[in-house]
Structure 1
Amino acid sequence: MKTVSYLRNSTNLQKNSIDMQRDTILTRSIEHLLPIDEEYLDEDISARKLSINQRPALKKLLDDIENDNVQTLFVYKRDRLARQKEEYAKIYRLLKDKKIKVIFGASDESPIDYTDVGELFELIRACINEREGNQIIERLMQTRKTNFLSGKTVGRLPYGYKLDKDSNKIERIEHQLEIVIKLYNELLSKKHAKVRNLTKAVNEAGLTKDGKPWTAATIKNVITNPIYMGTREMNINKEKLTLEKFKHISIIDSTDWYEAQKILEEISSKTGSSNHDKKQLTFLLDGILFCKECNQLLKPNNARNLDNLKYKCSEHSHIYINKEQVEQTTIKMSLEFFKNLIKSNFTGLSQRYQKDCKIALEQEIKQLNQQIDSIQNLLVQHTEKWLEANNKSKKDQIMSDLIKKHDKYTDELYRKENIYSEISELVEMVKKISDYHKELPNFEKLDTEVQQFLLKDIIYKITVSSSSFHIVFKHPFFEAKEAFNNVP
């Protein structure tokens, strides 16, 4: 069996990351006297955005492990394998089942542990990695937000405008804006009962968009864009940002613009409504039911008769399950699962592991505090030296040292903050399981969105065959099975 390595970077801005990972792993392989037989490389691939099946090198690696072709795996850190805790859980279980020796390149990455306590630890680490990934995205989103509100980021401009790259200012394209004005005027005339009638009238009048006929979608995109009344909007991480400082490029006043939105909404086609109420149409397990034969998600299948609502596999017609049956049974089994989990030695195991980790983390905090105190003293000493120095070059040298010491001081404080976060994660994980135990008995009283969120938060996946289904829970990867009779 092979000794292999897996490398991944998220964007083309991290090209050096691959070289760094490769060099570090090579060093580790030499230390262990294990030459690497094959390298699996996913370049410019985000583990947060793309699933395992969308990452070709990782998928091939996991297939090779599944087929017993791999014995030892070198990887820089856990987060190279997965950022999402559910995906990491799946990978961890495969590594554990196949007894793969995993060697991390990063010196600060703790060894992988296949014991029961280790499995709990891996779950916690996966949660932390996912949180760190989300924090990175939050920082990027905050930068985008700041740049937009300050006017630095213009973004994609709609029809009728262009960006002057030298001045970074938005300019009008007058002949295009004349067409947009005619679109608004045609809509505000209230002559059209439907959007398709408006679209037809615009095209028959000879108005085109860069030589192409207008469609209902392109007209809606123009009419609903507030830039035409001098306001720019940008959605960043589900937050709508508004910047009202573009009156000089507006072509319609705000009163007419809002009137146009009202008219557009009135003449837009409405989809037919169902006879089922919202709660009945909520498929609680949508996204976690999988076909046992092809591992594809089962899709909700609506029906006029509520008794015939199902989840079905689009590839295998004989794989389906009655909606009410699987949802009610899953809720019941989830409740039983957490009852048994609370009654078992899980709490004791968690508390013991939590205590051991807390002692180790607190010891690390103690050492960090000593380092921080030492750096603080050095900062004071260097500051005094800088004040006493008469020579400019000497002052510059001391200032350079001061900056380095301050950077180190900041890094140590950041490390300390992260350790406190890890301690909080340990406490939160056990509390979370207790909360599930309290919430599930009142499941029917919860809002449907809360019900769906709760089930997806505790269940890793449900595999459905023609005669049974198999539940895998996330905390910590216990399983339950149930046989059933399909309802046609």
Structure 2
Amino acid sequence: MNNSQKKHVFFRRVSTAGQDIITQEAADLPYREKIDQNQILLINEIAISANKKSIQERPDMKKLMSMVKENKIQTIYAFDRSRLFRDFYDSMQFFDLCKKHNVQIIYTSTGNGSLPATDDVFLEGFLYIFSDLEGKNIARRSKEARLRYPARKFGYTKDKETKSFRFDSAKSESVKGFFQELSSFDSLEELYTLTQKYRKQFNKKDEDLISIAFDPFYAGYDLSKGENKLQHVQPYISLDEFKLLQTSKAPYFKTFVERKLQLRQLDIYSPKCGICEKEMAFRINEVSNSACYICSNRVHSRISVSPCHIKSFTEFVLKNVISNLNSEKLLAQSLKSYRSFKAELTQRLKDAESKMNKIMEALILEDVTYSANWKQHPDYVQNLKLKNEYDLYVQKLNENELAFLTNKELIKTIQESLLDSLERNPEMLSGMLIENLWVYEEKLDVDIFFIEYLEGMDQELILEGIEAV
């Protein structure tokens, strides 16, 4: 692609939705006026923090880098280095990418002390380090500011002029009652009752309630660096009361959070109601330390099942599925897939070798930077890794091909492998072999993937008194 077909990209970024890009637009206007409009591409990243988000979380940046790799860009314009990246390693990766594809970078800011873009990898690295440090300092200062002057705080009203926080008259009595009850409960059951009560009053999740209980802001203090009294905050409790709450009730809070987390980790299935065919909701009961899937559709009676029951049932079904595999059908299909997979891997191996040769030639003959140590170039290292992986796969396939074709005992090996997977990771195997799990009032029903490879699975299976078709 010649330069007349390549794009001039004007890249702007603001960290929050409240910021605007007018300054950045004004700075790059003189450059835009000199370029054909058909060659201009505008990319505006709005409310994207380069401190908090990786490249994979920045779709516009991923688009830009993809276009650079495809040699579709001639020049990139940005206000300064910090608009592109804050992270040093991301910055250097981007710098190397642009240099490799002959993409010029121009910074449009004037009078703010930023240096123009250069081709010097050491100087750019040095400047990117400063940008990285500045970004981390901004994030730190922003966090400190939010601790002392949050945008909003439950139970408070904020005076924008004085930046003072005073009780919200509509919520203050409830918040006072919340802290009073927090200081007086003496058991995990009482804590569950308390959170259930204030979850409804405050319209907040349990995690939010625990967060309020651990927030020194409600005592009028910032404890992140010593004991800093917040004169602009009207406290709900004293500092001594807050400290006593943290020490005396901390074990209950910890157990509360851990138990809820353990219960949530039971949500690994996606059962559907056998009557209305809707996916069932996962519910936990902290008081009884239990969980269940439930369908409360009013058109039929309530249907529920415990995750433990589903686990027992699915493992029972999977064992029957594994033991009823049709070896002839499975081997025939596997052989077809095997040959297709081997052909694909062999072609990938050839492509990797070809690409490595091109990279090696380019690095030795063209790239002065890496000519002396071309074997350390990231592209070469990555492709060497891929080449070795494909080579190993093809070698293993060749070693096992004869055994695959002649060994009728292979199905036994497959079954043993599946049973081992059932033992180590039943959830994964369940997702591979079970298409749908239906729940009725008195039975569970499943749709099995690859049913054509099974034999003798049309009969009814019974598990612990509950029918499973």
TM-score normalised by L of structure 2: 0.45
TM-score normalised by L of structure 1: 0.43
The structure whose Rg is larger is 2
